[in-house]
Structure 1
């Protein structure tokens, strides 16, 4: 097993990519802490894993709130003793009708960028106590390219995640901590997606994807697994695009 006995926190783990990552990590031997604001859905994910004999716990977490991160880290240590892996996956969609909504700009930055920063802030010291660890930040192709249906605040936040990843990789390499980012392309619509969930819009989005299909959440999970595992032991500060060739155009 590629993550045998590792302790992994996965934010936004109640559905979508986060759920797929949590499931795959558990199957690969990790003790998984599923964190989300969606308590019922997150608990269901954990119960499904436990019913398979896998180790998992649910912690309710709003990633934008510092106090909730402190509670989540303490609860993880209480349950499993340490933290080896953090996947900062929680986020909200940028595909909204009003592309100049200032309040939504602030919300995008609060959840997507601030949430990622707080996750690293409160995990890094704990990882260092165990001799190191791996952080995988879920960014987006929107960190590199713009789209007609995506709020620029989403681009800004995801680009921020990319650069925070590189900064953290340099600043904490001496603690044995690797930090990398995964950049999904067009995937199944997020729970918070609006415009990009419309069938007509999705047809147009495929025009920019050389592979001419949408990605699957398990394809993102596989990328996160590789970067979290010891197979990527000499990889840090890199960006892995899972986008069907979209950013190669």
Structure 2
């Protein structure tokens, strides 16, 4: 498929996991992809994997929690690749702890990286999108937005993504900008593997426990989330906006 031929996509937090899979999927379907992570060096492996398959991608380093840094790197992306049509807000961290044990620094870090970064990137991207009367913004929420023990900070940030998404869809819709979110359940990524390690379990055992609670009886893969992000970023979803799509194997 070449759904994204002629389009330029920015994917944040794209050095690994869902971000890397999303960058690869968009490039596979014809987009030129700006692969953004904290440093360009971290992003380079994703770029190398894309270009090895004939795709177009460039690595950029940026602290997306810094609005000025986002403005600078997005201007560079436009200068290098010619435009900005698609934004995927994927950058995120976890700092899990029970609420009464959670230091404020961990609350601040997770809200900043997971939510404020989405504001920063969307705020800068919308200026390009409004001017060209076209844009797609897809942000990563989580099933944890519904509440999850030990994740007060992460749950609040991911619920905030859903509110931000709904509001931006209202405000940017008149300019032909679609804004949606994807809320994954348990996905086998380096982040969930790190969570397993923190609770003293292997990644395999942690995934097996999650699979038992999931109607499809397995955990998800980054590529499965990337496929949904690609749908929402495509013209196949041209009349879809303001939505959060849960991708969690049927879990409730």
> Structure 1: how far apart are the matches of 2:218 and 2:191?
20
Residues in 2 aligned to 1:228 and 1:136: alpha-carbon distance in whole angstroms: 7
Match of residue 73 from structure 2: 72
**Does residue 1:121 correspond to 2:149, yes or no?**
no
Structure 1 residue 32 displacement after superposition: 0.3
Could you tell me how far 1:94 is from its partner in structure 2? 4.6
For these two proteins, the number of residue pairs brought into alignment is 245
- Cα 1:132–1:227 shift into 2, 3 Å: same
Matching of residue 23 in structure 1 with residue 24 in structure 2: yes
Match of 2:40 in 1: 39
Hey, what's the Cα distance between the residues in 2 that align with 1:128 and 1:20?
A: 27
CA contact (8 A) 2:210 2:218 kept: no
CA distance in 1, matches of 2:7, 2:62: 21
Structure 1 residues 199-208 or 57-66, which shifts more? Answer: 199-208
* Structure 1 unpaired stretches of 5+: none
| Matches for 1:225-240 after TM superposition, within 5 Å | 225-240=230-245
- Give the match for residue 83 of structure 1: 84
Separation of aligned partners in 2, 1:119 and 1:231: 24
- Greater shift after overlay, 71-80 or 156-165? 71-80
Residue ranges of structure 2 left out of the alignment (5+ in a row) = none
Please give the root-mean-square deviation of Cα atoms over the aligned residues, in Å: 1.8
Please say if residues 188 and 207 of structure 2, whose CA atoms lie closer than 8 Å, have aligned partners that are also in contact.
no
Q: Which stretch has the larger CA shift, 199-208 or 15-24?
A: 199-208
| TM-score between the two structures when normalised by the length of structure 2 | 0.91
What TM-score do you get using the length of structure 1 for normalisation? 0.92
